[in-house]
């Protein structure tokens, strides 16, 4: 599989939903496979909260595969011998695209907390500019899970001519208060951590010891990605050290899992970037700039394929069903498919239980290509 | 209603489950109503994680009612004109009973992190000593929700002659990994907060500004006490300040709720005490010192009344049903009643949706009294 990495610089301003402006910005991305001559084999993949443009394959001298490598690759579900796949790091991210730790062009100083609040619409708009720059006017399909599903839905509403098929996994029409409450732990943790210094930290400050507030927020996130049922299956009440039973810090396996994920993440992810991305997630509501959800969905021309997971507490299947029902109420029942995967894994199922939905995605992609 | 407050000091050692010993200890408690001459009208109420012995009524010059005041009082569900109600602050607590911020008798120094790990069994054992001291050999009923239900179940197994009726609300036979993971946020938050000083803080250090780590842990707790459904009903996506939509710290109502509960709690509750109590909660497993759950339940002589709440994610109704099923498998179907309250409120329902279970409790209490 051919992996290409790139960063595009955009010198003309990006007008944001908030009314603020980014004078210039960069978008980092990766592509897999080859664009065909007619440019009709594009599949856009949107990454989730803390994902990156590295969706598939692996770099030389690195043993880490992309976050959706199980799905994307030669002869895989998203077959890179047929399709040209693009994944861009979201605006506000910290993996090459412009974010709060980028330099503000006029002063050369890092934005930090002066970075404008961005929304899913802004993220999608910047991506559209990238696609134009790459000579891509339309996609055969766009696909994303979680925050990626928000981008996919937003793209379907705001760029109705862009994609033929829009595939959402573990998505929603609007972020729930349940999700916002988990994000709140990260927000309070980061902002009030003395090492955050009101955003005036140095870029390398957390390489060895991550920001505690971010680690705690990420731990909260990792709870929200699972469910009481998947945790029981994964960890039950197993101890790491059986002799630690009566020690205050004798650990359960689930506690080690939380530590591992929270502390490692806080060394590699920028806290300001995390703040801005969870804010974009919290703001997301597909009806926000419209009269109603029906009103906004009225713009959609693509066919929607909705894949919900029964045990997903963060983005409830019934919320995804609202997307289906709204399309049906618009007389568009032939433009929407809804599938609820039997799973008690929780929100993370879209990154784990591939065998439960990959054949469906393959069918969706291959039926008209 | 007559409220009596008391603290009893115990000079003989308490042998703990861990093998460690408390040379002496205090237990603070409250009582409501009057003990009858035959001492047959006792109802013991066990408080939850951060509750206290102040279960009902209100002190002079205070406008705060006890945490279960809706249920306990003259002519209420737990009728203090008939019953003599006792509630004790748990061992390890910070409301008068001995805990990590108490003085170790031999040195006079505060225990802090040298306080022994305590378990639900230890908490119940200390309470039993209190009851003996007060001349109470048996209770007509014991009742508790959440951590209080753990104490009630433990009491039924380890002191089978003590109570005739044992009422558990939102309880479980063993703490789940889901619950442990929420506690983990508090544990990591507290221990790694620089102001915690490895437990060497001064008692008044957090009166004005609570410990951040505890506040974050409590916020996580408040998520676990609710559900995606109750949060939606309570808060939906409402903003506190509508003009804050595109401000990084423009808040949703659910965020204000989290702040309010987290930060206020961290000013009033001792972080070391919180650490020890969540540890006791994590350790709880009614089968731990037995061959199996059937083995431990074989000791129970009381009739169990189990009140689960359908939307409780923290202590799942199906886990409470395991208690019922185990009793049935022991041929004791006439010694257990199981009721699952239709509710999507979440774990906190036992502190909120009284009208859904109070008549049941009244019936249970009054049918044989």
**pLDDT computed for residue B243 by the predictor:** 65
Distance from CA of B177 to the nearest CA of A (A): 6
CB contact under 8 A, A227 and B177: no
Q: Interior CA angle at A77 toward A72 and A83, to 5°?
A: 65
Q: Is B312 a catalytic residue?
A: yes
Average pLDDT over residues B192-209: 97
Q: Which of A17, A248, A283 sits opposite B275 (nearest CB)?
A: A248
The ipTM assigned to this model is 0.96
CB contact under 8 A, A255 and B187: yes
In this predicted model, what pLDDT tens digit does every residue of A89-120 receive, in sequence order? 999 999 999 999 999 999 999 999 999 999 99
Q: What is the pTM of this model?
A: 0.97
Nearest CA in chain A to B191: A249
Q: Is B146 a catalytic residue?
A: yes
Burial of B62 (0-12, 13-18, 19+ CB in 10 A): exposed
Element (H, E) at B156: helix B147-158
Q: Which of A20, A191, A228 sits opposite B176 (nearest CB)?
A: A228
Indicate which residue of A146, A224, A230, A266 is catalytic.
A146
**pLDDT computed for residue A369 by the predictor:** 76
Residue B153's alpha-carbon distances to B141, B262, B301, B337, in angstroms, are: 12, 29, 11, 14
Percent of chain B surpassing pLDDT 90: 94
Backbone phi and psi for residue A278, each to the nearest 5 degrees, phi listed first: -65, -30
d(CA A71, CA A46): 13
Residue with the bigger pLDDT between B248 and B179: it is B179
Average pLDDT over residues B231-247: 88
Mutation to test the B interface, candidates A246, A251, A256, A308, most B Cβ within 10 Å? A246
Chain B residues touching A314 at Cβ < 8 A:
228
What average pLDDT does the structure give for chain A? 96
CB contact under 8 A, B185 and A117: no
CB contact under 8 A, B192 and A175: no
Nearest CA in chain B to A179: B228
Average pLDDT over residues A144-158: 98
Chain A residues touching B262 at Cβ < 8 A:
188
d(CA A214, CA A221): 10
Chain A residues touching B253 at Cβ < 8 A:
177
Distance from CA of A54 to the nearest CA of B (A): 27
**pLDDT computed for residue A243 by the predictor:** 65
Chain B residues touching A212 at Cβ < 8 A:
188-189, 192-193, 213
**A139-145 and A163-169 as β-strands: parallel, antiparallel, unpaired?**
parallel
CB B90 within 8 A of CB B55: no
Q: Which of A113, A212, A234 sits opposite B192 (nearest CB)?
A: A212
**Which domains does chain B carry?**
3-175+285-366 (3.40.50.1820), 179-280 (1.10.1740.110)
Grade residue A222 by pLDDT with cuts at 50, 70 and 90. Answer: very high
Q: Which of B113, B236, B247 sits opposite A248 (nearest CB)?
A: B113
CB contact under 8 A, B193 and A182: no
Backbone phi and psi for residue A13, each to the nearest 5 degrees, phi listed first: -65, 150
């Amino acid at each position: 599989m051919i992996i290409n990495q790139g960063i595009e610089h955009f010198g003309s301003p990006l007008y944001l939903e908030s009314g603020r402006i980014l004078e210039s910005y960069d978008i980092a991305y990766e592509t897999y496979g080859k664009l065909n001559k007619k440019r009709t084999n594009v599949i856009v993949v949107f990454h989730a909260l803390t994902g990156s443009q590295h969706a598939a394959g692996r770099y030389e001298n690195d043993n880490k595969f992309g976050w959706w490598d199980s799905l994307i690759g030669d002869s895989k579900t998203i077959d890179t011998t047929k399709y040209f796949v693009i994944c861009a790091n979201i605006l506000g991210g910290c993996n090459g695209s412009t974010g709060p730790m980028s330099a503000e062009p006029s002063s050369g100083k890092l934005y930090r907390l002066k970075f404008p609040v961005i929304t899913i619409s802004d993220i999608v708009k910047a991506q559209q500019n990238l696609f134009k720059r790459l000579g891509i006017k339309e996609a055969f399909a766009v696909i994303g899970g979680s925050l990626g599903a928000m981008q996919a839905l937003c793209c379907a509403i705001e760029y109705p001519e862009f994609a033929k098929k829009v595939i959402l996994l573990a998505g929603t029409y609007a972020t729930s208060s349940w999700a916002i409450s988990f994000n709140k732990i990260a927000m309070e943790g980061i902002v009030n951590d003395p090492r955050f210094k009101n955003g005036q930290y140095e870029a390398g400050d957390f390489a060895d010891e991550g920001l505690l507030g971010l680690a705690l927020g990420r731990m909260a996130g990792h709870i929200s990605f699972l469910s009481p049922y998947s945790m029981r299956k994964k960890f039950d009440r197993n101890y790491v050290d059986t002799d630690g039973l009566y020690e205050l810090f004798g650990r359960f396996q689930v506690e080690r899992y939380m530590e591992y994920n929270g502390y490692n993440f806080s060394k590699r992810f920028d806290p300001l970037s995390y703040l801005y991305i969870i804010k974009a997630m919290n703001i997301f509501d597909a009806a926000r700039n419209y009269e109603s959800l029906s009103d906004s969905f009225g713009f959609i021309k693509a066919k929607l394929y909705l894949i919900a997971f029964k045990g997903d507490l963060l983005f409830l299947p019934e919320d995804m069903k609202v997307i289906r029902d709204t399309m049906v109420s618009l007389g568009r029942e032939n433009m929407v498919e809804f599938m609820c995967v039997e799973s008690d894994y929780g929100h993370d199922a879209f990154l784990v239980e591939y065998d439960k939905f990959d054949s469906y995605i393959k069918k969706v992609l291959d039926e008209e290509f």
